[in-house]
Amino acid sequence: MARFYTDADAERVVKELKTIEREAGREQGDKKKEKVCLDIDLLVFDDRILKPEDLQREYVRKGLEELK
């Protein structure tokens, strides 16, 4: 869980996060194989919740609370 500030838009941030995943060895289709070496998601951007389903997970809610 991390918080950061950027001048980039959400689309650009997601592209960068996916690049980091690929550089760490993640391949397309890994999730279907239940093989995920790194999973980086953008959950909130400019106070907009982008992945509401992830906010239902206890570990995500706890992590967000710790960042406050």
pLDDT in tens, 20-44: 988 888 777 766 666 777 888 999 9
Q: Is residue 2 part of a domain?
A: no
For residue 22, what are the CA distances in angstroms to 26, 29, 36, 59? 5, 12, 11, 24
Supply the range of the domain harboring residue 27: 10-67
Q: Give tens-digit pLDDT for 2-21.
A: 999 999 999 999 999 999 98
Residue 60: inside a domain, yes or no?
A: yes
Does residue 25 form part of some domain? yes
Query: What's the pLDDT at 28?
Result: 76
Q: Is residue 14 part of a domain?
A: yes
Secondary structure element (H or E) that encloses residue 49, with its range:
strand 48-49
Is 50 domain-assigned?
yes
Q: Is residue 44 part of a domain?
A: yes
**Structural domains in the chain (count):** 1
